[in-house]
Amino acid sequence: MLVEKNVPLQSSNSFGIVAKALTLVRIGSEADIAAVLQNPALHAGPTFILGGGSNIVLTGDVKPLVLKVEITGKRLVKETDKAWIIEAGAGENWHELVTWTLQHGFPGLENLALIPGTVGASPVQNIGAYGVELQDRFDSLDAVDLSTGQTFTLNAAQCAFGYRDSVFKHASTPTDSGAAGFGLAGKALITRVRFALPKLWKPVLGYADIEKKRLQSKVEEPTALQIYEWVCEIRRAKLPDPKVIGNAGSFFKNPTVSPEQCEDIIQRDPKIVHYQLADGSVKLAAGWLIDACGWKGKSIGNAGVYDKQALVLVNRGGAANPVTGGEVMTLAKAIQTSVYERFGLRLEPEPVVV
């Protein structure tokens, strides 16, 4: 096991923020985790698990021990009547996995093409796009308990998936209200994830952007590969490529309100983009709210609001003069204040602030 000191993280976070990991260990297998846990100097303090760094804002050097997950491998592990079960190492690149599954004839992940980040991070925030969420294709995952070194497996129910949420986003410590926390944040390292990809595959259409592509191309029954290509085209047109313009994808979650609250907002802003949810509540498009407050294209220091999608905050200084985590958070807070003052809604950030 190699213990690295003062490791630059600029190329390990998709914003391109300059920061260092004071101590970093690369995790290529369960044996590497065991070696860390057997080393009292490393095991004593807190840890921070780093995947693709595509959903984090670094506000300074990272003092907890950084475990950089680099576990690889992609394979078909099982076939049932209904599904192919595909397993991938947590360190695999998400988009490469999506491409690989389609090349091998396993459809189901096409709507999730081009989402930045790693396989291990995908269940943490239950990634989703164009009508499909990770939980719709999830089978199970393996993880290691960082306090005991035990390996365990979780099914979907045990992961407690929600909208951009899972058990891995919640602390295990008691909450402010005194209730016992149920979470695994910082407590477990995901090593492998298994996906159940349906043999009776049906395209997930219906999203406005996808429907537009379908009408333009006049394809009645698109294949999984066709949808994959459309999703790649849509994302490339509307979302900045982190390799070119640093960003962490959507910066805020889309807020959910009651029908009464929504009605109240519609009275004032009839054009608000909203979607009815199955449980009766209404989801509002945070990008629209931010756009309506006039933030699109604006900047604070080197932190900017992307000019084609107001939900995405970007690094306007590039690699040479990069944005700081402080600038990103100052911009995020200014946006939250505007949206609160105009709509009475508190936007919740999606990335983890480190």
Catalytic residue numbers, as ranges = 164, 250, 350
232 binds ligand EPU (CB under 6 A): no
Task: Name the H helices within 191-317.
Answer: 208-217, 224-238, 259-268, 286-292
345 binds ligand EPU (CB under 6 A): no
CB 70 within 8 A of CB 30: no
Task: Specify the residue, 77 or 266, whose C-beta has the smaller distance to ligand EPU.
Answer: 266
Backbone angles phi, psi at 262, to 5 degrees: -65, -45
Task: Give dist(CA 86, CA 67) in Å, integer.
Answer: 25
Work out which of 249, 317, 322, 349 binds ligand EPU, going by CB under 6 A: 249
Work out which of 24, 311, 328, 339 binds ligand EPU, going by CB under 6 A: 311
291 binds ligand EPU (CB under 6 A): yes
Work out which of 287, 317, 325, 349 binds ligand EPU, going by CB under 6 A: 287
129 binds ligand EPU (CB under 6 A): yes
- C-alpha 72, offset from chain centre: 19
130 binds ligand EPU (CB under 6 A): yes
84 binds ligand EPU (CB under 6 A): no
Work out which of 99, 101, 118, 254 binds ligand EPU, going by CB under 6 A: 254
To the nearest whole angstrom, how small is the minimum distance from the Cβ of residue 287 to ligand EPU? 3
What single letter denotes the amino acid at residue 180?
A
CB 85 within 8 A of CB 57: no
- Those residues with Cβ within 8 angstroms of residue 211's Cβ, 6 or more apart along the chain or in another chain: 205
Work out which of 13, 14, 47, 250 binds ligand EPU, going by CB under 6 A: 250
**281: three-class secondary structure by DSSP:** coil
Footprint of ligand EPU (CB under 6 A): 129-130, 209, 239, 249-250, 253-254, 273, 285, 287-288, 291, 296, 309-311, 350
